[in-house]
């Protein structure tokens, strides 16, 4: 391996981290290298810099493409394949989430649904099913949230995130406006917003920011 020290540290770290996820060391390092590179790289250049065999690099790139983590492009008058990672980190994050969801979450949800359809034939199975139902509901809540949130454009999302727990105050506002308690979350007031003619017993607006 023949890299500037600063880059090498990063590449090695991602190699290690890669193996904690499903991804293997080689693939992690290839990705890290592409991520840091200002220009697209071809397989031969990666071989040069990381010292893996040509075939191993080929495999690694194939895997990264399967994960949609890497983009293939061509330079004029050069028929080798060049690879890059997206410049926008939010896009990378989204891809990562998308792919992991597809590979891990969705199959689990499917499995849970199938098993929950079956009729339990013992107390043990009955209990197991309630546990699985809980898990199913939680996962579904989280994925629905994700499906909803992941379309928000990055700068807005960043704003939202930096709000952190303060978003809770939205409930105070909502309660104040609707007169509903925090327990009742139902889509209970479909049409006209409650703030119009309602003169009875308003709450105080939330204090502090």
Partner DNA sequence: CCGTAATTTCAGAAATTTGTGAAATTATAG
Partner DNA sequence: CTATAATTTCACAAATTTCTGAAATTACGG
| Window 44-63: residues binding a copy of itself (CB under 8 A) | none
Segment contacting DNA by CB under 7 A, of 39-47, 97-105, 141-149, 170-178: 39-47
Report CA-CA distances (Å) from 116 to 44, 102, 132, 138.
51, 21, 7, 15
Q: Which does 43 bind (CB under 5 to 8 A by kind): DNA, a copy of itself, none?
A: DNA
Q: Which does 53 bind (CB under 5 to 8 A by kind): DNA, a copy of itself, none?
A: DNA
By beta-carbon proximity to a copy of itself, the closer residue of 44 and 104 is 104
In terms of Cα–Cα distance, which of 55, 57, 82 is closest to 71? 82
By beta-carbon proximity to DNA, the closer residue of 30 and 112 is 30
Report CA-CA distances (Å) from 12 to 3, 25, 61, 181.
11, 9, 17, 52
From 44, 91, 106, 125, residue interacting with a copy of itself (rule: CB under 8 A): 125
- Chain residues 126-145 in contact with DNA, contact rule CB under 7 A: none
Query: How far apart, in whole angstroms, are the C-alpha atoms of residue 55 and residue 62?
Result: 11
Q: Say whether residue 19 binds DNA (CB under 7 A).
A: yes
Q: Say whether residue 203 binds a copy of itself (CB under 8 A).
A: yes
In terms of Cα–Cα distance, which of 162, 160, 117, 159 is closest to 136? 117
What are the DSSP calls for 147-177, one per residue?
HHHTTS-HHHHHHHHHHGGGGGHHHHHHHHH
Q: Say whether residue 24 binds DNA (CB under 7 A).
A: yes
From 62, 102, 202, 203, residue interacting with DNA (rule: CB under 7 A): 62
Q: Say whether residue 200 binds a copy of itself (CB under 8 A).
A: yes
Which residues fall within 8 angstroms of residue 203, CB to CB, at 6 or more apart? 175, 176, 179
Q: Which does 193 bind (CB under 5 to 8 A by kind): DNA, a copy of itself, none?
A: a copy of itself
């Amino acid at each position: 391996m023949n890299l500037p020290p600063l880059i090498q540290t990063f590449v090695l770290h991602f190699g290690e981290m890669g193996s904690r996820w499903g991804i293997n060391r080689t693939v992690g390092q290839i990705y890290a290298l592409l991520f840091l590179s200002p220009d697209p790289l071809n397989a031969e250049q990666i071989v040069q810099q990381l010292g893996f065999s040509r075939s191993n690099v080929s495999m690694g790139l194939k895997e990264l493409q399967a994960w949609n983590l890497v983009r293939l492009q061509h330079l004029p008058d050069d028929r080798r394949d060049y690879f890059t990672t997206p410049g926008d980190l939010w896009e990378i994050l989204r891809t990562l989430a998308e792919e992991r969801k597809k590979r891990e979450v969705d199959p689990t949800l499917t499995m849970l649904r199938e098993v929950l359809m079956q009729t339990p034939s013992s107390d043990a199975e009955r209990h197991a099913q309630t546990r699985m139902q809980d898990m199913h509901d939680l996962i579904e809540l989280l994925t629905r949230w994700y499906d909803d949130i992941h379309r928000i454009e990055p700068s807005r999302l960043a704003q939202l995130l930096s709000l952190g727990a303060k978003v809770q105050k939205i409930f105070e506002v909502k309660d104040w406006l609707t007169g509903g308690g925090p327990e009742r979350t139902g889509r209970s007031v479909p049409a006209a917003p409650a703030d119009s003619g309602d003169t009875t017993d308003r709450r105080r607006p939330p204090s502090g920011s």
